[in-house]
Amino acid sequence: MRWLNSGLRRDVCVLLAEESYRQQQLKVALEDHYDERVDADRFRSALERLVDAGFVEREVDGIHDIYALTEPGRERLEAHYEWMTEKVP
């Protein structure tokens, strides 16, 4: 998987770096950031790809799925941040 080839996947990881989210709360936080609706299928696909790659973990809490950034996800996000700060001083 090309790590942050998708801005949506990158932004999911940025939000999860701060705290864990329920799936719907995470989607709403992205929509607030983008100031537009995020397609539900595209969002779920991005989230599943991150889980499958081991960058995000899913925990079932009753009827809700809670998502959190894993240590490998945090390391990749930090590496991407460093790359960006080198390119955009």
Domain positions in the chain are: 7-87
Six-digit token string for 34: 């983008």
Which tokens belong to 2?
């090309």
Q: How many whole angstroms separate alpha carbon 86 and alpha carbon 32? A: 28
pLDDT in tens, the chain (89 residues): 456 568 999 999 999 999 999 999 999 999 999 999 999 999 999 999 999 999 999 999 899 999 999 999 999 999 989 999 999 98
Fold classified for 7-87: Arc Repressor Mutant, subunit A (1.10.10)
pTM for this predicted structure: 0.89
Q: Which residues of 33-61 are buried (b: 16+ CB within 10 A; e: fewer)?
A: eeeeebeeeebeebbebbbeeebbbeeee
Which phi and psi (to 5°) does residue 34 adopt?
A: -80, -20
Q: How many CB atoms lie within 10 A of CB 68?
A: 15
